[in-house]
Structure 1
Amino acid sequence: MGVLNNRPADGIGAEILCVHPRVAAVFDALNGSNWSWLLLRGEDDLALPAGDVDILVDSGVLPRLDELLATAGFCRVLAPGHGSHRFYFCYSVDDGAWIKLDVVSDLAFGPYQQWRTPWAARCLRRRVRHGSYWMPDPADQAWLLLLHLFMDKGGISPERQPLALAAARTAADGGRIAESVRRRVGAGPVAEMVDLVLDGRLDEVPATAARMRAAWRGGGLSPRLIAGVNRLLRRSGAQVRGHTPLLGVMAPDGAGKTTLLNGLHADVPLPTKYVYMGLWGAGPWDEVLGRIPGGRTGKKIYRLVRGGVLARFYRRMGKVVLMDRVAYDALLGGSGGGPLAGMSNALALAVIPAPDVLLVLDVPGAVMFERKGEHSPELLESWRQDYLQLAGRLPGGRVVDAAQAAEAVQRVVTGIVWETLSQAAGTRRAHSRRHPGGGGSAAPEKADPVAAEAAQETGAAEALALHLWHLLDWRFLLPILQPRTLGFAGQVSQETESALRLLDPEAVRLGGPGSGPDGASCDVVLLASPGRSHVESAGLALEPGGWICVEASRSLLQRSGPRTLRGWKRTLERRGYQDVNLYWNAPNRDRTARLVPVRSAVAIRDTLALRKDVRFGSLKAAAAHLALALHVFDLMVPEGTVTGRRPERGGP
């Protein structure tokens, strides 16, 4: 059921009957932000939007926008080279449809947003309320629609003609944007634009649109330069914000793996990449390789390394990876014999990343035989049972009835992909509901006093929810459990900053290089993924006897500053800090289970013994034991914490 929003049938567009619940949730979230916003166009398509839902927002809401729209169930896709456009997606399982938001904070026109205007703030000031959402002033809406059709689209499609005609009739009476448009393209082209639509001479629209684009003046930077930069930025491609899932599919031949993944790749609007493993499939060189000892095994190794590298690369680039066949095929009976085959199968399990979701397509053997005519129904049924047994033993395994129509299977799997993708956003939404002040910096004057009052009444430690405790594990490495004045710098996330301010409502973010915290002194300074300049700022802020805590990661590609945890330890020692210690955050800073002192070989070995049950735990433990024997473990620590004390006299 939609949300009813009745209004008089005047202005551009027809009367709306309802708004899709997902879109209504977006409107509610934006209304609750206390920042101005409006729906640019498309109010007649809100029941189940077939195109983008175009929204203009005040630039002040941008720091909180991702979080706000996550509460409405939308996931952001980063798309460099699109000006101020931000794209958000949501999959409506009940409707089997994707809903896309196109949110802008500036009004710019052209395929590369190269023709900029200063109209956004003015349009927001003149907005008009329509039920649960806002629309532009009718004259503003008319001019924005006409410019969108001429400058962005370069033509008017048949389904847009009624809207364009209504807009031209309103624009003919003038408007506050009209004069600004005339200054940019000239009075002649503007009048011609309106007359063409009113007279129905739509075949002449492309030529007039081209003249308007060529005549555009103003807007600061050269439109050609802006278009060139945005065109270059777009080559990097779109990326899913946050964790991107890897979807693996297993099934015998004829179950529909390739059909399903090709359909997902074509229809899912998120950035996806299809990776075909096919490690044990036939190839044109099989006859030649079969005569060479180890030839087929060499082909398997090449394919698995290539597929594993591609899957990891695409995932690092923010793509949803769709993997046709996975390394777990090696666990099936009859997947290969001999020591070389066993070694290559083990290598496949080590090199190919484990999927977040492992789909096993369940199709009766007789149906698979009818689809492809390969093997026999009995053999295919035997393989089917093997896959079903394997699905019950593997992490993330889910069985999907693939005997139904391909469209129905794709719809089910699309829902699974969306469910996996939105899990991280759901966690952030839960955190946001428990801590309203921790969502961003758009309205700090409202959030911080609430946190301060809670800390004063109940105590900072008691005010912390359990999920925030892991962000403050570093406190247990210092003799100062409750800092008097806490400073922080570096790449401190919004959630971590919220936890710090609950711990110390007066916590201060340190300034830039060479500056302290505006005259204040701190007894504890936390640096997260810092640079050298942050260490300098910490030295200026720390009072004698104060403690510095550096959370860092090993990064051999870092251009400046220490590349290892040992390097950070030496940096503090060279700056005069005392009692410098290094701790391993096991397994990492996001999921710290133990803070292991690197100087204690016994503590390291005990921690490694506890992690043998994780994936490749034995292999990682062997490498760690070797690093201990060679006294280079502090060079190999992936993520850890370095602490040090400023001397009572002198010091950094």
Structure 2
Amino acid sequence: MPTPPKAGGPVRPEPDAAGAVGLQQAPVIERNLRAALHALEATGQSWLLLRGQDDLARPTGDVDILVASDLLPILDDLLQAEGFRRVLAPGHGSHWFYFCYSATDGSWVKLDIVSEIAFGPYQQWRTSLAPQCLGRRVRRGPLWLPAPADQGWLQLLHLFLDKGQIAPARVDAARKAAEAASAYDFIACFVDHRMGQGTAAEILALVRAGNFNQVPATAASMASRWAGGTAAPRLTAARHKGLRLFGARLQGSGPVVAVMAPDGAGKTTLLRGLQATVPLPIKYLYMGMWGAGPWDAWLVKVPGGRSAKKVYRMLRGGLLERLYSLMGRLVLMDRVPYDALLPGTGAGGILEKMTNTVAFTVVQPPDLLLVLDVPGHVMFSRKGEHSPEILEGWRQAYRKLAGQLPGSTLIDATQGAETVLRQATGIVWNQVSQTAETGPGVDRESGSGAGSPGQEPSGTQGTGSGAIGALTSHLWRRLDWRFLLPDLQVSSVGYGGTTSPELKSALHLIDPAAAAVAPGRADQGSTYGVVLLSNPDLMDFKAAADAVKPGGWMCVEVRRSLFRRSGPRTLKGWKHALIRSGYQDVSAYWNAPSLDRTARIVPVDSAAAIRNTLSLHKDVRFGAAKALAARLALMLHLFDLAIPEGTVTGRRPSAEEPQ
């Protein structure tokens, strides 16, 4: 089991089990954690906080939660709606890990959710204690906790079986656990049944007497006496140990984050800081084309040697970038081929132009590009290279380039390194959590931003009328799907899937009473005139299909994905799903170029509209090649399979209409 966080926070006075009022106070709970616990409570399913109830204001470790197994099918969507992102960790038994970043205080919240109580470094000693512990849970303010005796035994078994010792820092926790437990509790009976009669009493006597130096030997003896056959735990441990070799990963493809700036702006410092502080699966990738190498002295003597080295590094970097992303890692890219677009580059002749073309071909454009903005004289004072005038010229070139590149965000890097790191972490988290952003670098919690390409960077915070106007414009763009319906005036709206906070705000612009539609919610049974789904799974779709009023409409915004957990993987698949569910007037549309930056909504059934849209790609880098591939898919009648992002609409027939 995970290590318990350190104790220390206030709790509210409330009646204890006997009706007396204790000296406790209401717990202070971190905002994102409070939202997650509220979402769990709203499902009506059982859950409890395993430990650490005194460390919830700003958790220093994992927040350990036990949930009923019935919650597992909806857990991902439930917590993602509250801003959490799951990290898949094979080989950790029933442990599901979720992360959320709070830009307000620059801290991470980590949830370790289990549906089964298991012990051992590889969760190899499984138990059937979870249902009983959930059934015996007790209420403490907004929290559900194990019964005192259960909590004591779970703590003791964690120390003996997971840790194999009681470290000095855990002595007080062990003594309190032994005081709350007895040899006649139901977990004590389980311990005696599994590891021999008298084992529970032996544990309590050892801890109460303070003989902590005997704990390792007792723990080893308990492990060897685990009943139920020794082969099963060994096989479980071997399987989990093997699965852990694959490492943790994000669901789906990992985003690629790159940093651009002249030398001395702090690129490597920022990337190394992100690598050290972001608790997500990360791969750092250095893409330096001309970085020093052991063969440089030999390569300069060979015609084309340095260019060959550049091509090799680009090929290697491009392949690793794609591999790490497919493996679900957050890729931090140091150096990008975009440097070749700066004024004064590309003057090395046809060979350099060819190698630059190779670089743009094999290196995937980053999902997020952070451009550090530092005045020339500051960069000169940091490294003493070139001159303030040259560095200032480079700075202006990078600023101009940032305004032309997609996904770029300008950050004022004259601030302290910690401030820049915190600001960048918030921007990266917005990308990782796949929220619809109100603008590059905007902090959706505080309303402040890092600056947009083409704007003057500022270290101040706040939103003016321009920012509010941009926000409102963005929210209305998230309502483009309305133009696919016969009536723009929507009576009632429901939403589901991976709905971001910004999309929820947009929906409340047209229906202040817009509500979530999800399997297992307490308000299940309500119906709506329109239900909008954003990247749903199959359970989301089924819940939404039942929540549409007869004669109402369902709109499904989807991205093509080969790694979807459940449900169709293409636009065509979702179209057929609506038809199979009895919906009529089903249509599919291509959101070009993407759902977040839709410039055109193109009906898939209109070949003329598709060809007209593809013709607009001729001036985009590699747009001609993409358009050619799209035309080939159109000719082969596979376009609805090839579309990366789009919308499917369908009408639920009224009662009198034939199905």
TM-score (ref. length: structure 1): 0.74
Relative to 1, partners in 2 of residues 1:172 and 1:605: Cα closer, same or farther, differing over 3 Å? closer
CA distance in 1, matches of 2:225, 2:58: 38
Which protein is bigger by CA-based radius of gyration? Answer: 1
SS at match of 1:45: coil
Specify the code of the residue in structure 1 equivalent to 2:161. M
Answering whether residue 129 of structure 2 is matched by residue 119 of structure 1, we say yes
Matches within 5 A, 1:397-436: 397-424=408-435, 428-430=499-501, 436=515
Answering whether residue 345 of structure 2 is matched by residue 356 of structure 1, we say no
1:438 pairs, out of 513, 517, 527, with 517
CA distance in 2, matches of 1:265, 1:13: 43
Contact persistence 1:243–1:421 (CA under 8 A): no
Relative to 1, partners in 2 of residues 1:122 and 1:9: Cα closer, same or farther, differing over 3 Å? closer
Specify the code of the residue in structure 2 equivalent to 1:187. Q
Name the structure 2 match of 1:146: 156
Name the structure 1 match of 2:616: 610
Name the structure 2 match of 1:346: 357
Note the C-alpha offset of 1:108: 0.8
Relative to 1, partners in 2 of residues 1:503 and 1:17: Cα closer, same or farther, differing over 3 Å? closer
Relative to 1, partners in 2 of residues 1:366 and 1:336: Cα closer, same or farther, differing over 3 Å? same
Number of aligned positions between the proteins: 548
Answering whether residue 530 of structure 2 is matched by residue 464 of structure 1, we say yes
Name the structure 2 match of 1:332: 342
Relative to 1, partners in 2 of residues 1:10 and 1:282: Cα closer, same or farther, differing over 3 Å? farther
Contact persistence 1:246–1:356 (CA under 8 A): yes
SS at match of 1:228: helix
CA distance in 1, matches of 2:203, 2:537: 51
Contact persistence 2:196–2:225 (CA under 8 A): yes
Relative to 1, partners in 2 of residues 1:13 and 1:313: Cα closer, same or farther, differing over 3 Å? farther
Name the structure 2 match of 1:580: none
Q: Deviations over 1:148-183 (max 9, x none)?
A: 111112222333221110111122353121111111
Answering whether residue 255 of structure 2 is matched by residue 251 of structure 1, we say no
Relative to 1, partners in 2 of residues 1:256 and 1:620: Cα closer, same or farther, differing over 3 Å? same
Q: Deviations over 1:249-274 (max 9, x none)?
A: 01122222112212211221111111
1:166 pairs, out of 154, 176, 190, with 176
Specify the code of the residue in structure 1 equivalent to 2:518. G
CA distance in 1, matches of 2:351, 2:594: 35
Note the C-alpha offset of 1:61: 1.3
CA distance in 1, matches of 2:620, 2:215: 64
Note the C-alpha offset of 1:621: 2.3
Name the structure 1 match of 2:625: 619
CA distance in 2, matches of 1:450, 1:57: 26
Answering whether residue 639 of structure 2 is matched by residue 594 of structure 1, we say no
Relative to 1, partners in 2 of residues 1:48 and 1:492: Cα closer, same or farther, differing over 3 Å? closer
SS at match of 2:526: helix
1:157 pairs, out of 156, 160, 167, with 167
SS at match of 1:42: coil
Note the C-alpha offset of 1:301: 1.6
Q: Deviations over 1:67-112 (max 9, x none)?
A: 2222332221111211111111111222221111111111111111
- What is the percentage of aligned positions where both structures have the same residue? 51
Note the C-alpha offset of 1:620: 1.7
Q: Deviations over 1:241-292 (max 9, x none)?
A: 3563321101122222112212211221111111110123333333433333
Matches within 5 A, 1:470-619: 493-502=538-547, 528-529=568-569, 593-597=601-605, 605-612=611-618, 616-619=622-625
Contact persistence 2:14–2:24 (CA under 8 A): no
CA distance in 2, matches of 1:357, 1:418: 11
CA distance in 1, matches of 2:172, 2:16: 14
Note the C-alpha offset of 1:34: 0.6
CA distance in 1, matches of 2:385, 2:219: 57
CA distance in 1, matches of 2:430, 2:203: 46
Relative to 1, partners in 2 of residues 1:31 and 1:111: Cα closer, same or farther, differing over 3 Å? same
Select between 329-338 and 159-168 the one with higher mean Cα deviation.
329-338
CA distance in 2, matches of 1:432, 1:62: 24
Contact persistence 1:56–1:106 (CA under 8 A): yes
Specify the code of the residue in structure 1 equivalent to 2:209. D
Specify the code of the residue in structure 1 equivalent to 2:499. R
SS at match of 1:43: coil
Contact persistence 2:371–2:411 (CA under 8 A): yes
Which is richer in helix? Answer: 1
Contact persistence 1:588–1:639 (CA under 8 A): no
CA distance in 2, matches of 1:95, 1:542: 46
CA distance in 1, matches of 2:284, 2:395: 24
CA distance in 1, matches of 2:199, 2:159: 14
Name the structure 2 match of 1:384: 395
SS at match of 1:424: coil
Contact persistence 1:22–1:73 (CA under 8 A): yes
CA distance in 1, matches of 2:256, 2:136: 46
SS at match of 1:102: strand
Note the C-alpha offset of 1:495: 4.2
Q: Deviations over 1:395-432 (max 9, x none)?
A: 22222222333223222211111122234389614578
Note the C-alpha offset of 1:616: 2.4
Q: Deviations over 1:542-585 (max 9, x none)?
A: 99xx999999xxxxxxxxxxxxxxxxxxxxxxxxxxxxxxx999
Relative to 1, partners in 2 of residues 1:549 and 1:47: Cα closer, same or farther, differing over 3 Å? closer
2:66 pairs, out of 56, 61, 69, with 56
Specify the code of the residue in structure 1 equivalent to 2:352. A
CA distance in 1, matches of 2:587, 2:200: 60
Name the structure 1 match of 2:43: 33
CA distance in 1, matches of 2:360, 2:249: 27
Contact persistence 2:602–2:609 (CA under 8 A): no
1:47 pairs, out of 57, 68, 71, with 57
CA distance in 1, matches of 2:436, 2:170: 36
Name the structure 2 match of 1:559: none
Answering whether residue 240 of structure 2 is matched by residue 230 of structure 1, we say yes
CA distance in 1, matches of 2:278, 2:234: 33
CA distance in 1, matches of 2:253, 2:14: 41
CA distance in 2, matches of 1:205, 1:499: 54
CA distance in 1, matches of 2:614, 2:10: 55
Select between 603-612 and 10-19 the one with higher mean Cα deviation.
10-19
Q: Deviations over 1:432-489 (max 9, x none)?
A: 896756323x36x963x423xx4xxxxxxxx224x45x99xxxxxxxxxxxxxxxxxx
Select between 10-19 and 406-415 the one with higher mean Cα deviation.
10-19
CA distance in 1, matches of 2:204, 2:294: 62
